[in-house]
Amino acid sequence: MKTLIATVFSLMLLIPGINTVKVEDTITITVTVEGIRNSSGSIAIALHNEESDSDFPEAEAFREESVSLNSSGDVEIVFEDIPAGDYAVALMHDENDNGDLDFNEFGMPIEGFGFSNEAMGDQGPPDFDQAAFSAEKDTDITVSLIYMGS
């Protein structure tokens, strides 16, 4: 009887799919940033998931990246090993590299900013739903920077 059980168990290990554990598939999200007005400073980008939807974009991001600029032109930022789902991107051109989006005396941003879906809020940043995109497989998006009150 022990031999029969051992034989059946051994055969089960040989059948494809029975002995494998499914690991959650991950994807890559590539963000291309367009409209960068100069090569000063860096581009800071925050990738948010649905867990931060109520306080977007101020909520803690799922992932963050920063890319120093050393030439003009578009910048590509790649987020790897991301679970499939709904995401939103908020980014800024931190021209003076102080880690903040700077504003003029009238409360207008003087550095570039942008959101996925080119979303804009009425009197401030958009909400998560306006900027959200679905990423069920490798996804490429483009965000154009907006410069307002220099």
In this prediction, residue 114 carries a pLDDT of 97
Residue 7 within any structural domain of the chain: no
- Mean pLDDT, 10 residues at a time, the chain of 150 residues: 52 53 77 96 95 83 94 92 96 96 91 96 90 96 89
Query: What's the pTM?
Result: 0.80
The domain that holds 43 is classified in CATH as: 2.60.40
Q: Is residue 107 part of a domain?
A: yes
Range of 101's domain?
Answer: 23-144
pLDDT value at position 82?
Answer: 96
- Write b or e for each residue in 119-148: b if 16 or more Cβ atoms lie within 10 A of its Cβ, otherwise e: beeeeebbbbebbbeebeeebeeebebebe
- Number of independent structural domains in the chain: 1
Q: What is the pLDDT of residue 55?
A: 87
pLDDT at 20: 47
Instruction: Say if 2 falls within a structural domain.
Output: no
Is residue 133 within 8 Å of 87, Cβ to Cβ? yes
Does residue 73 fall inside a structural domain? yes
The answer to whether position 89 is within a domain reads yes
Can you give the length of the chain in residues? Answer: 150
